[in-house]
Each structure stands twice: as structure tokens, then as C-alpha cells.
């Protein structure tokens, strides 16, 4: 039985996962890499450390396999910017991560100058430092020379370049659509937007379908030379594919470092909707593009890491669920995890993390509960906006990602959204989606129908708590959100 290896290059680590023809997942290998915070609001990674982590997990996984590797799929943290020298293959700057807020003022200036309509029309995005273009412009304005040797890519392009022995410079349509430089209607790099951000088009990757041969692996790697790299997608689009959301109106939530809600919007470019993004979901070979409407909460799972690493309230992330469930509610405490601003539907880069409602009776269990509730409440705000924007009623949300193992979170999410929540039997649907895209390109799976037949869920959570109770929770949450958005307001005596 052939195996597809999925490389899942996330925000905090790299995972290599084996996916078999029947959809079974495992074994896998995982390595974290360093998060750099040189200034408040700045987030960086070392591209070489990401590459080294990739080599380690590939080597460890290959040692565990009992069948040949037929192809590689890649999925990745999106929007993160890497620039490198095409001749040496060496990075020219630390990667600037999607969470980074350093270009907030530049984005505000572009919006004030009237460029938002152009960007919404061409890219489906909003003017926010979340996306790649303003980060790339900042790099060029801060020490990296514009010349013909410079290459830019998101993490998928960086790994393709390294895995191919510096031969290939490609990305797929889903990742290109997150750069704020790609015309999602005409499916090409926009000369107009490159000029706006002063980006030389010579540094951009060739854009290819999400499922189709990109290149093959070079010699002297842990994986065999000549292995096809045939599936690539940004992590959230890969998760939508891995959850078998193949029909228009199917929706999913991924609880990762941030939380991301996507709904399949079909083969026609959606109309822009306030607070939400339009994006390319995937393209299989020469088939039509599939679009998605997306909402993003920047910090959700990262807030659990903060409880562990920043406050020391827990020793392991797995302790959060039981700790939060040890109290019936958060005791009036609300936590807004706006450490790097607020994403959908607010798009406020100046908001900051806020805890309100503390009393002498507040315990670490109440704070843990407030963090879990914040994840569900953030997603509920986005879910409401998606439902309003979608022409068809969203009848259910499929959920995955590390935090989805918490029954409390899934049950609360169903209560807040008012529709069933189906939890994937495999929480690593991001890797699964990349593997499916790679496997379809080599005919390991013949169709999306075949993939849907091997996709399973391990639990369904029905709405259970009363609407008035949920309404009260939402009102308190929205008051807390306003406090977080007031953070940058001047304080007067």
C-alpha cells in the first residue's frame, strides 16, 4: 500500500505525517522551532531552522514507514514572508510571520490614500499587516536589496525550493491568494499591486494548481531522490479539503495557533463581504478554481500556550480542558486574546489582549475557562458573519485542530453557533488535505467522492444551552472586545 507523506509546516513547528490509501494517518514526527519576538507586535522565524526541522521530521518518519512513498504534499502557515538568494539558497532576512503587526501604519496609510477598493476587488482581502505584501515591502526597505537574485515565497515556496535542490520556485493558487499581490479573478500576479507595494515581479514564484506535479526531490535528502511533490495548499484551505467540504456551503473551523473558519463558495468569485475575506480554496489540475469565504481569529490556541509559557498556570496544554471544566462558568471573567490585534470581523491591528471581570474570587480555573470561552466566542462572531454572507444556510460546522479534543469547547461552539458541530476523527486534517491533493495528482485517489467516502467524524455536538444564556455570554464578550479596542486610546488624567 502506497503512502503519501504530508509536510505540515505550521506556525510553531513542522510535522511529517504518513497518509495511507484508505485515509488512515500515521506514523508522524514533529519538531517545534523558535519563536522570535524582537519588539512588541513583531513575530519572526528563522527559515533555516524551519528547513532543519523539516529534514529531521522527514528522516524520523521515513525510518518508521513500512511501504514506499508515492508523493509529497505540503501545507503551511500562510502569509509568512521568506526572502532568499536564488544562487546560494540562503535566506536574506528572518521570516516575518503572519501574526506580525509592524506594518500596521503602512496599511492604514494605504487605506487613507484610497487603495482599499482596489485591493478588495483584485485580491478579496483587506488592508491589514496580516498579509504578505506590506511585510515584503518592509523587508526591501530595511536592508534587502532589490535584484534579480532575490526570491520571495511563503513557507511552501521555501520548502519546495530546498527540497528540489534549489531548482524550483513555485507556489500554488491558494497560497498566492494570501499575498495581497495576486489577482484571484484573473489568476495572475497583479502588476498594479506589485507597483503599489514596490515589489519586483522577478522575485515572485510561478503559480501552479494545488493538485498537480510541482517538482521532484533532490539527492541527499532523507526521502528518495525523484519523489514527486504534487500537492500544495495553505493550511486552512488544506483543512477545508481534508474535511471533505467539497460542496458549496460546506464549512469548517480549525483550532490552531489561531482559529480559522472557511465556507466553500463554489467556482464563482464571491462578492466582498464586510469583515470577511475571499480567497482561493484550491485547484485540481486544469479544473476550475474553487473559492472560499474566510474569517480568521489570530490568537486562540496561542492563548493556551501563553497560559503555559507566559503565566505558568499549566504545565501542559492538555491540562486546559479539565481545568476549565472544573468550574461551571468563568465567574464573570472575559479574556480577549488580541495579542497581535483582532482579525475577523473587526480587523483592528491596534487592539490588545484584555482580561476583564477579575475579583478576589477569581482562580486559575476561571481564567482557563475564560480562555476556552474566548476561542468559541471569537469563532461565533465569525460564524455569524459567514452565515450572513453565504447565500445558503450553513447547517453544520466541521471542526479539527488540536483544541478540538476538548468536548467543552466543541459543545460551547455548538451552543453559540446554534448548529451541530462535527469533530473530525483525525484532528490533523490540514496534513490530510495536503496528502489528498498530492495523491489525486498521481491517481492514488480518483475523485473527491472517493475521498469523502473515507472521511469520518468521531463525535457530533448538538446545541444544548438556551438562547438567552448564550445571548448574555455574547453581550459580556462584546463589551470586553470594546475594551480591548480602546487600549490604544489616550489616557487623560
How confident is the prediction along the chain (493 residues), in pLDDT tens digits per residue? 789 999 999 988 999 999 998 888 889 999 999 999 999 889 999 999 999 999 999 999 999 998 899 999 999 999 999 999 998 999 999 999 998 989 999 999 999 999 999 999 999 998 989 899 999 999 999 989 999 999 999 999 999 999 999 999 999 999 999 999 999 999 999 999 999 999 999 999 999 999 999 999 999 999 999 999 999 999 999 999 999 999 988 899 998 888 989 999 899 888 878 888 999 999 998 888 999 999 988 888 888 888 898 888 888 888 888 999 999 999 999 999 998 888 888 888 888 899 999 999 999 999 999 999 999 999 999 988 887 776 567 888 999 888 888 999 999 999 999 899 999 888 778 999 999 999 999 999 989 999 988 888 889 999 988 778 888 899 999 999 999 988 655 443 3
H or E element in which residue 421 lies: strand 421-424
Residue 100 three-state SS? coil
Contact 154, 130 (CB under 8 A): no
Kind of pairing, strands 397-400 and 421-424? Answer: parallel
Distance in angstroms (rounded) separating the CA atoms of residues 399 and 397: 6
Residue 97 three-state SS? coil
Cβ of 100: how many Cβ atoms within 10 Å? 25
Q: What is the pTM of this model?
A: 0.86
Cβ of 407: how many Cβ atoms within 10 Å? 13
Task: Tell me phi and psi for residue 10, to 5 degrees.
Answer: -90, -170
> CA angle 196-173-125, nearest 5°?
45
Q: Tell me how far CA of residue 323 lies from CA of 319, 332, 353, 366, 406, in angstroms.
A: 6, 16, 21, 8, 11
Residues with Cβ within 8 Å of 76's Cβ and at least 6 positions away in sequence, in order, are 8, 9, 10, 154, 155, 156, 159, 175, 234, 235
In the chain, what are the domains? 3-243 (3.30.420.40)
Cβ of 333: how many Cβ atoms within 10 Å? 23
Task: Tell me phi and psi for residue 405, to 5 degrees.
Answer: -70, -15
Sign of CA pseudo-dihedral 470, 476, 477, 482: positive
Amino acid at each position: 500500500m502506497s503512502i503519501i507523506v504530508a509536510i505540515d509546516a505550521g506556525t510553531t513547528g513542522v510535522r511529517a505525517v504518513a497518509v495511507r490509501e484508505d485515509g488512515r494517518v500515521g506514523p508522524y514526527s514533529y519538531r517545534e522551532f523558535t519563536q522570535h519576538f524582537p519588539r512588541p507586535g513583531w513575530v519572526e522565524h528563522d527559515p533555516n531552522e524551519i528547513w532543519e526541522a523539516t529534514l529531521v521530521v522527514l528522516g524520523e518518519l521515513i525510518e518508521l514507514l513500512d511501504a514506499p512513498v508515492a508523493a509529497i504534499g505540503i501545507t503551511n502557515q500562510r502569509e509568512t514572508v521568506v526572502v532568499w538568494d536564488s544562487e546560494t539558497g540562503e535566506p536574506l532576512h528572518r521570516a516575518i510571520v503572519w501574526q506580525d503587526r509592524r506594518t500596521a501604519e503602512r496599511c492604514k496609510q494605504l487605506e487613507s490614500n484610497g487603495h482599499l477598493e482596489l485591493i478588495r476587488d483584485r485580491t478579496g482581502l483587506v488592508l491589514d499587516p496580516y498579509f504578505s505584501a506590506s511585510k515584503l515591502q518592509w523587508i526591501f526597505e530595511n536592508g534587502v536589496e532589490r535584484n534579480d537574485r532575490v526570491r520571495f515565497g511563503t513557507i511552501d515556496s521555501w520548502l519546495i525550493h530546498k527540497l528540489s535542490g534549489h531548482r524550483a520556485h513555485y507556489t500554488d493558487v491558494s497560497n498566492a491568494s494570501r499575498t495581497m499581490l495576486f489577482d484571484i479573478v484573473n489568476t495572475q500576479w497583479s502588476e498594479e499591486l506589485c507597483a503599489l507595494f514596490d515589489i519586483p515581479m522577478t522575485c515572485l514564484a510561478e503559480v501552479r494548481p494545488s493538485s498537480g506535479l510541482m517538482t521532484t526531490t533532490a539527492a541527499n535528502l532523507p526521502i528518495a531522490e525523484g519523489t514527486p511533490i504534487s500537492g500544495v495548499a495553505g493550511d486552512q484551505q488544506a483543512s477545508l479539503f481534508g474535511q471533505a467540504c467539497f460542496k458549496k456551503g460546506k464549512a469548517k473551523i480549525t483550532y490552531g495557533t489561531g482559529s480559522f473558519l472557511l465556507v466553500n463558495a463554489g467556482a464563482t468569485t464571491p462578492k466582498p463581504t464586510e469583515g470577511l475575506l475571499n480567497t482561493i480554496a484550491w485547484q485540481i489540475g486544469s479544473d476550475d478554481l474553487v473559492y472560499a469565504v474566510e474569517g480568521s481569529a489570530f490568537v486562540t490556541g496561542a492563548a493556551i500556550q501563553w497560559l503555559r509559557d507566559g503565566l505558568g498556570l499549566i504545565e501542559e496544554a492538555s491540562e486546559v480542558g479539565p481545568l476549565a471544566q472544573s468550574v461551571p462558568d468563568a465567574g464573570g471573567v472575559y479574556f480577549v486574546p488580541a495579542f497581535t490585534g483582532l482579525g475577523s470581523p473587526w480587523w483592528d491591528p491596534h487592539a490588545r489582549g484584555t482580561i476583564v471581570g477579575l475579583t478576589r474570587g477569581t482562580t486559575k480555573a476561571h481564567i482557563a475557562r475564560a480562555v476556552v470561552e474566548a476561542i468559541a466566542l471569537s469563532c461565533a462572531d465569525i460564524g455569524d458573519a459567514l452565515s450572513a454572507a453565504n447565500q445558503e444556510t450553513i447547517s453544520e460546522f466541521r471542526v479539527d485542530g488540536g483544541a478540538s479534543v476538548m468536548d467543552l469547547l466543541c459543545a460551547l461552539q455548538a451552543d453559540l453557533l446554534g448548529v451541530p458541530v462535527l469533530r473530525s476523527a483525525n484532528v490533523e486534517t490540514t496534513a490530510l488535505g495536503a496528502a489528498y491533493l498530492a495523491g489525486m495528482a498521481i491517481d492514488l485517489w480518483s475523485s473527491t467522492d472517493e475521498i469523502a467516502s473515507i472521511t469520518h467524524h468521531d463525535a457530533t455536538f448538538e446545541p444544548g444551552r438556551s438562547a438567552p444564556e448564550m445571548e448574555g455570554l455574547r453581550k459580556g464578550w462584546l463589551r470586553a472586545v470594546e475594551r480591548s479596542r480602546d487600549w490604544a486610546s489616550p489616557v487623560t488624567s
